[in-house]
Amino acid sequence: MMKSNHKRLIFILAIAAIITATAACSKGNSGEVTDNIGQNQTMSQDTGHQNMEGQMRNNGTEPANGGATKSPLAEQPADDAAGSESLFVDIPVYDGTSEIKMTIDGKEVTAKFESLAPFEPFGLYVPSVLERYDMEDGVEFGYDTRNLITIGPFSQFAVEEADLKKTYEALVPFAEYTGSQPEGGDNPAILTAFFAFEHEGIRYGIRFRYGKDDAATAVPLFLETIRTLKLVTETKLDGTKGQASQNTK
């Protein structure tokens, strides 16, 4: 009888040990699950915070990729150069030099001084590739007869400055450039570009006339030529057409 009770006691203690061990194991697993849930919640909060920051950056406060913010103004062409360079701020007085060297299309050419007197109080150095055309009321310089430079009072060109458009990009930086238009306003084969400047209360103009297909050659050539504009005062024409000599008192 005593042996039977002893065995029963051992059996009960064994069962109790198993139950205790099982309970401890369950508690440990529960703790791990709780810890994992806590970590997942923390990671979720961090991710949400990062996503919110990224959205704020993308809304314009800061680029999400850490790069520099791209301003929409960077997409727009700058026009600060428009009218920033002047061709005729102070027109120098002709000093008597009869010819100079000029570089045209990468080649050095001789340019002789040609006076517009008695029609206008100016002269300029004209490269040898251009011809002089004398008319009853003035002088023109050019080539192929249709590509011409004309200088005179702006009113003689019979154009409204308000109708001109600054469409020739290479001329836009010049303050005197007033704009361009097809000849007569409706001839696309012949184009004109106009410049204007003041001298002694008179508004003078320079007109480039050129064929549309000649623009790439004519416009740079004409521009280099008018850069040499000089003031011719108290002059008389000598025996050579267009050559001016300056009188001094």
- pLDDT of 52 over the 60 cut: no
Domain ranges of the chain: 1-66, 99-246
Beta-bridge partner residues of 113: 125
Percent of the chain with pLDDT over 70: 60
The CA–CA distances, whole Å, from 234 to 33, 152, 183 equal: 107, 18, 35
The larger pLDDT score, comparing residue 121 to residue 27, is at: 121
Alpha carbon 217 to its chain centroid, in Å, reads 22
Q: Quick check: 128 pLDDT over 60?
A: yes
Confidence at residue 79, expressed as pLDDT on a 0 to 100 scale: 52
| 129, HSE (Cβ side, Cα atoms, 13 Å) | 16
User: In this model, does residue 188 exceed pLDDT 70?
Assistant: yes
What are the C-alpha distances in Å from 119 to residues 6, 25, 134, 150? 144, 115, 11, 12
CA distance 233 to 185: 36
Mean pLDDT of the chain: 75
pLDDT for 233? 76
CATH architecture of 99-246: 3-Layer(aba) Sandwich (3.40)
Q: Which residues contact 248 (CB under 8 A, 6 or more apart)?
A: 234
| pLDDT at res. 185 | 75
Confidence of residue 186 (pLDDT cuts 50, 70, 90): confident
Q: What is the pLDDT of residues 56-65, one digit of tens each?
A: 344 443 444 4
Find all residues with CB under 8 Å of 221, minimum gap 6, and list them.
Answer: 104, 105, 127, 129, 130
DSSP 192-221: EEEEEEEETTEEEEEEEEEEGGGHHHHHHH
Q: For residue 237, what pLDDT is reported?
A: 43
Asked if the model's pLDDT at residue 169 lies above 50, the reply is yes
User: pLDDT tens across 69-108, in order?
Assistant: 332 322 233 455 566 899 988 899 999 999 999 998 899 9
Count Cβ atoms below 10 Å from residue 153 Cβ, excluding itself. Answer: 12
Q: Tell me if residue 107 falls in helix, strand or coil.
A: strand
Rounded to whole angstroms, how far apart are CA atoms 180 and 205? 13
